[in-house]
Amino acid sequence: MPDLLSSENLIALLTLTLLEIVLGIDNVIFISILAAKLPEAQRRKARLLGLSLALAARILLLLSISWVMRLKDDLFQMFGLGISGKDLVLILGGLFLVAKATHEIHSKLEEEPEAASLQAKRGNFTSVVVQILLIDIVFSLDSVITAVGMVDEVAIMVIAVIISIAIMMAFAGKIGDFVERHPTIKMLALSFLILIGVMLVAQGFDQNINKGYIYFAMAFSLAVELLNIRFRKKSTPKVGGVTGAPSAR
Mean pLDDT by 10 residues, the chain (249 residues): 64 77 74 80 83 82 70 77 81 82 79 51 72 76 67 77 84 78 79 82 82 78 86 69 48
pLDDT reported for residue 111: 61
Distance CA 101, CA 99 (A): 6
pTM: 0.64
Write the DSSP string, the chain: -TTTTSHHHHHHHHHHHHHHHHHHHHHHHHHHHHHTTS-HHHHHHHHHHHHHHHHHHHHHHHTTHHHHHHTTSEEEEETTEEEEHHHHHHHHHHHHHHHHHHHHHHHHHHS-HHHHHHHHHT--HHHHHHHHHHHHHHHHHHHHHHHHHH-S-HHHHHHHHHHHHHHHHHHHHHHHHHHHH-HHHHHHHHHHHHHHHHHHHHHHTT----HHHHHHHHHHHHHHHHHHHHHHHHHS-EETTEETPPP--
The answer to whether 197 touches 96, Cβ cutoff 8 Å, is: yes
pLDDT for residue 103: 82
